[in-house]
């Protein structure tokens, strides 16, 4: 039970739960008050299996003891130092640690408080970089339909997600899109060929826009919105080559895919392609404290170094950027992932769960199971089932990402095989109930 003096229904009208109709939500609101490991509990004591790490966040599960210890230690020392007069020791340790686990020379690191902030910062960094590197005309960004890069204006302009975007038009100029590979797959008998075709669409846009005006391409290596869209490794190799030939920077938005989920620390390593910048967030603190980061090739960062009169410093800042408390959590999470080589566990238990999800095809409503490691999506052939699944899963105490056309799971990378058995049983039970509810 909640202990507020004002009735819950009244309070729910004074706020909103993201992307929900509050009248609908208020009829049977889920109000969480505790989490531990793979589970949430609501105010009525009901337990939920958190199959999506909150929302692709709790990679180590909730309240991991080593992360909690690191936070307690930091709490006694320093919880706030604005990144304006100084930088904290723990922020420097975090910057060093992040740079040590990223591929290539991606070790110019700026911590922020959330994914949208990191994406927004990357866009500004790229525009300023080109302005002071002899290519002031390069300002456009190319991304993908169905992609999601955040809720703020720049990140939203790069996103390609229906009403999350159209309700706020007009958007900023200079943001262009290509469709993701799933969009054209029915026109190709071969998935690899479809990926080659879709990767080359980036070149068509860049050439026709004039490469001298194109600053960067931004993609999620695996796209959540659209149903865990998982291109081939060759897709990324072609994209890398296109960007190199046209002097366009390549940004991987690894806010979902980072920190062990795909079988490597980052999806860039899973696909074997190194971008010029990365944005990371979500799993970086396993949900303990808001934290994200913009990461760039070290030599890109050098373009911002100079004497005061050169005026080349990055003209950008956020009050909570590099917050010491958040950096302590991030450090502890990365150390824990490294200590346990947890990306290997993600590959193992993710493969186990994936094989089980494939067996769900026997229910006749599944087109495809896709993803990497523990980041898995299941495409549904019947949207009524998809809509019902959101309700039946929650009723069964299961939290997943549900969309009419697909559902996604991303269990913690510390999960065991027994956890995956429990999860699969709940998924199947919820799916059967959804099929029944939709009367397929």
Would you tell me which residues interact with ligand PLP (CB under 6 A)? 114-116, 119, 148-151, 220, 224, 253, 255-256, 281
Please list, in sequence order, all residues whose beta carbon lies within 8 angstroms of the beta carbon of residue 166, skipping any fewer than 6 positions away: none
Q: Select 256 or 357, whichever has its Cβ closest to ligand PLP.
A: 256
Question: In angstroms, what is the minimal distance from the CB of 149 to ligand PLP?
Answer: 5
Question: In angstroms, what is the minimal distance from the CB of 18 to ligand PLP?
Answer: 9
Query: For 76, phi and psi rounded to 5 degrees?
Result: -80, -15
Q: Select 256 or 385, whichever has its Cβ closest to ligand PLP.
A: 256
Q: Select 366 or 400, whichever has its Cβ closest to ligand PLP.
A: 400
**What is the DSSP annotation of 149-170?**
--SSHHHHHH---HHHHHTTPS
Alpha-helical segments (H) within 359-416: 383-395
The first and second tokens of residue 225, run together, are: 């919105």
| 119: helix, strand or coil | helix
Where on the phi/psi map is residue 177: left (φ > 0), alpha (ψ -120 to 50), or beta?
Answer: beta
Question: In angstroms, what is the minimal distance from the CB of 112 to ligand PLP?
Answer: 9
Question: In angstroms, what is the minimal distance from the CB of 309 to ligand PLP?
Answer: 36
Tell me whether residue 108 is exposed, middle or buried, using C-beta atoms within 10 angstroms of its C-beta: 0 to 12, 13 to 18, 19 or more. buried
Q: Select 268 or 360, whichever has its Cβ closest to ligand PLP.
A: 268
Question: In angstroms, what is the minimal distance from the CB of 253 to ligand PLP?
Answer: 5
b/e 316-337 (16+ beta carbons within 10 angstroms → b) = eebebbbbbbbbbbbbbbbebb
Q: Select 174 or 226, whichever has its Cβ closest to ligand PLP.
A: 226
Q: Select 144 or 354, whichever has its Cβ closest to ligand PLP.
A: 144
* 333: enclosing H helix or E strand: helix 324-340
CA distance 45 to 41: 6
Question: In angstroms, what is the minimal distance from the CB of 406 to ligand PLP?
Answer: 15
Whether omega before 170 lies within 30 degrees of 0, making that bond cis, reads yes
Tell me whether residue 212 is exposed, middle or buried, using C-beta atoms within 10 angstroms of its C-beta: 0 to 12, 13 to 18, 19 or more. exposed
Question: In angstroms, what is the minimal distance from the CB of 211 to ligand PLP?
Answer: 25
Q: Select 203 or 253, whichever has its Cβ closest to ligand PLP.
A: 253
Question: In angstroms, what is the minimal distance from the CB of 337 to ligand PLP?
Answer: 19
Query: Cα–Cα–Cα angle for 46, 52, 53, nearest 5°?
Result: 80
Q: Select 35 or 151, whichever has its Cβ closest to ligand PLP.
A: 151
Q: Select 119 or 215, whichever has its Cβ closest to ligand PLP.
A: 119
Question: In angstroms, what is the minimal distance from the CB of 256 to ligand PLP?
Answer: 5
* Cα dist from 42 to 30, 35, 390, whole Å: 7, 9, 17
Residue sitting closest to ligand PLP (CB):
115
CB 35 within 8 A of CB 62: yes
């Amino acid at each position: 039970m909640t202990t507020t003096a004002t009735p819950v229904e009244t309070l729910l009208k004074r706020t909103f739960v993201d992307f929900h109709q509050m009248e609908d939500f208020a009829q049977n609101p889920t109000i969480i008050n505790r989490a531990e490991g793979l589970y949430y509990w609501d105010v009525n004591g009901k337990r939920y299996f958190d199959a999506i790490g909150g929302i692709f966040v709790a990679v180590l599960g909730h309240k991991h003891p080593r992360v909690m210890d690191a936070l307690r230690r930091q709490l006694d020392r320093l919880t706030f130092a604005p990144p304006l007069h100084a930088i904290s020791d723990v922020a420097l340790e975090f910057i060093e640690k992040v740079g040590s686990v990223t591929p290539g020379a991606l070790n110019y690191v700026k911590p922020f408080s959330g994914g949208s902030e990191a994406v927004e910062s990357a866009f500004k960094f790229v525009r300023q970089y080109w302005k002071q590197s002899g290519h002031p005309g390069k300002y456009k960004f190319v991304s993908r339909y169905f992609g999601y890069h955040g809720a703020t204006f720049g990140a939203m302009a790069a996103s390609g997600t229906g009403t999350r975007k159209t309700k706020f038009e007009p958007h900023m100029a200079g943001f262009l899109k290509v469709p993701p590979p799933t969009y054209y797959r029915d026109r190709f008998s071969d998935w690899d060929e479809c990926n080659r075709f879709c990767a080359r669409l980036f070149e068509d846009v860049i050439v026709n826009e004039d490469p001298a005006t194109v600053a960067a391409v931004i993609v999620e290596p695996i796209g959540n919105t659209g149903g865990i869209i998982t291109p081939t490794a060759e897709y990324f190799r072609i994209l890398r080559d296109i960007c190199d030939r046209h002097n366009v920077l390549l940004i991987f938005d690894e806010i979902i895919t980072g920190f062990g989920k795909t079988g490597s620390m980052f999806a860039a390593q899973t696909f074997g392609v190194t971008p010029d910048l990365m944005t990371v967030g979500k799993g970086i603190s396993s949900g303990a404290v808001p934290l994200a980061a913009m990461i760039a090739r070290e030599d890109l960062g050098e373009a911002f170094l100079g004497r005061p009169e050169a005026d080349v410093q990055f003209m950008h800042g956020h009050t909570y950027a590099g917050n010491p408390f958040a950096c302590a959590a991030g450090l502890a999470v990365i150390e824990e992932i490294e200590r346990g080589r947890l990306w290997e566990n993600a590959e193992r238990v993710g493969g186990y769960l994936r094989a089980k999800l494939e067996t769900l095809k026997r229910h006749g409503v599944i087109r495809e199971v896709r993803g990497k490691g523990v980041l898995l999506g299941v495409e549904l052939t019947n949207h009524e089932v998809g809509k019902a699944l959101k309700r039946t899963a929650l009723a069964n105490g299961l939290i997943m990402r549900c969309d009419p056309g697909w559902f996604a799971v991303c269990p913690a990378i510390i999960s065991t095989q027994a956890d995956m058995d429990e999860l699969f049983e709940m998924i199947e039970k919820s799916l059967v109930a959804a099929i029944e509810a939709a009367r397929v």
